[in-house]
Each structure stands twice: as C-alpha cells, then as structure tokens.
A = this chain, B = another copy of it.
C-alpha cells in the first residue's frame, strides 16, 4: 500500500498535523466521484448542430468539467498542499511536492460514439516522478491501477494482478494505436513500417490500450501528440505490470508527445529500432 502525507487542515504556510492516509482508498473515492458525475452524460444523443461545433449542450465537455471540478474539490479538501494539473482547468501549484494529474475523459471520440473505451485518468506525481495512477471505466465498472512496483485490476471478472505479456519480438506482437491518422509526415512512414512487421494491429483503444498492455493482451502501444495528462496516470500502471514506456526517442515519457509502450524491454528496443530508422 502506498501512503502519502495529507491532512484535511486548511492550506497554511506553517507546520500542521500530518496524518498518513491510505492512498489507494482515496483514489478509489476520486474514481467513484468522477464516475458518478460522468455516467449521466454518457450515451446522451448529440444533435448534429452540437457535433458540428455549434452552440448548445455538449455532453462530453460538460461531463469533463463537472468531473474535474468534483475531483479537484475532493483533493483540495484532503490534500490542501498538493498541486493539480487537469485537462479542463489547467495547473495550480504545479511546483508542489505532490501534484495530481487529472484527465476526466480520455477518449472523447469513443465517448461521443457511445463506445465504452474512454476512461478517467487519475495520476499522482511525487517530485516529478509519477508514483500512482488509475484508469477508471465506470460504465463497465473496471479499474486499473498501479504504483510503478505493482499493478492491479478490478472488474466484472474479479480482482487480479496485472502483468504484461512476455512477448519479445514485433512479429509476434499485437500492436495498437488510437488511430493511424495521428501520425504525420515521417512518423506516418515510421508507424507503417512497424505495422507491417507486427503480427496484427488494432485501432481505437485510447487509454484502454495501455491497460490491456498492462494486462498482457496487447504487446505494443504506439501513439503521438499525447499531453502529459494523457500519459502520466498510465505510467505507474504500465511499469507496475512489468512494461516499459518512453518517448519514441527513448526518453522519459511524462511530458507526453510521441509514446512507445511495450510488454518487455527486448520488444521495446526492437520497436524503437524500427521506428527510428
């Protein structure tokens, strides 16, 4: 169990009573809260006018904002000294020792299309290092979480430890990306080269792809143009399950950008070699 120092005390400069809290249960509270907020907006039909970017009711944005506010409020009450970075409401105290990273609806296209492959990402960074992450899918009632050392799953099939596959070669690997359209120019050629070598490719997974990598069903996830909040909450899950995640250049992934996640070190090296010809 990962513990962090918190306290329901008001934010203050001086010393205050610290209490050690069960951190996993706190993140579960955030997941409960955001799930309850988002679900009433899922599969609410959009009128064509809304989809075309017109004014009016936009369920994804509404759900995104409501869930982020609910989580921010809950974090502020329990950890007033922690920083916050969210997709909708930006950064607050992001130089703090502990910073929360929130993406209420990762996979907005899936959400709009009624497909249950979107998820709520909740991450915690300690002194710059992602130290805890959760992906919550409230419609299916699935949770994937990890702390970089271990990763776990809870859902319709029960509870289990997450472990990546032992796949070592691209030609035996299941590859996924949200959409081939995310790769432009040279990256498009690089991705196509990888796709040609992989056993099979599947599109349309969003955050779910990384969770299925952690669970051993997908072997490689390759994406581009990610924001830091898209990937930070997933890093402790992938690494906790035994996987490797970096940029396409092999650097630390927490800034986002182009991302490669793989089941094993050997597979990861092979993917980088193919992408960086």
Judge whether B112 and A208 touch: CB under 8 Å.
no
Tell me if A113 is interfacial: C-beta within 8 Å of chain B.
yes
Interface string of A141-177 (1 = CB under 8 A from B): 1000000000000001100000001111101101010
- Stretch of A23-31, A43-51, A75-83, A246-254 that contacts chain B: A43-51
What are the residues of chain B within 8 A of A117 when measuring CB–CB? 115, 117, 204
**Which chain B residue has the least Cβ–Cβ distance from A174?**
B113
Tell me if A203 is interfacial: C-beta within 8 Å of chain B.
yes
Which of B52, B140, B169, B179 meets A140, CB within 8 Å? B140
Q: Describe A's contact surface by its main secondary structure.
A: loop
What are the residues of chain B within 8 A of A181 when measuring CB–CB? 201
Interface string of A32-46 (1 = CB under 8 A from B): 000000010011011
Judge whether B167 and A216 touch: CB under 8 Å.
no
Judge whether B215 and A157 touch: CB under 8 Å.
no
Number of A residues whose C-beta is below 8 Å from B? 47
Q: Which of A66-98 contact B (CB under 8 A)?
A: none
CA separation between A141 and B155, bound complex, in Å? 12
Judge whether B202 and A110 touch: CB under 8 Å.
yes
What are the residues of chain B within 8 A of A128 when measuring CB–CB? none
CA separation between A39 and B165, bound complex, in Å? 20
Judge whether B116 and A140 touch: CB under 8 Å.
yes
Tell me if A180 is interfacial: C-beta within 8 Å of chain B.
yes
User: Across chains A and B, which 8 residue pairs bring their CB atoms closest together, nearest first?
Assistant: A204-B204, A114-B217, A203-B203, A48-B172, A114-B212, A45-B216, A203-B204, A113-B202
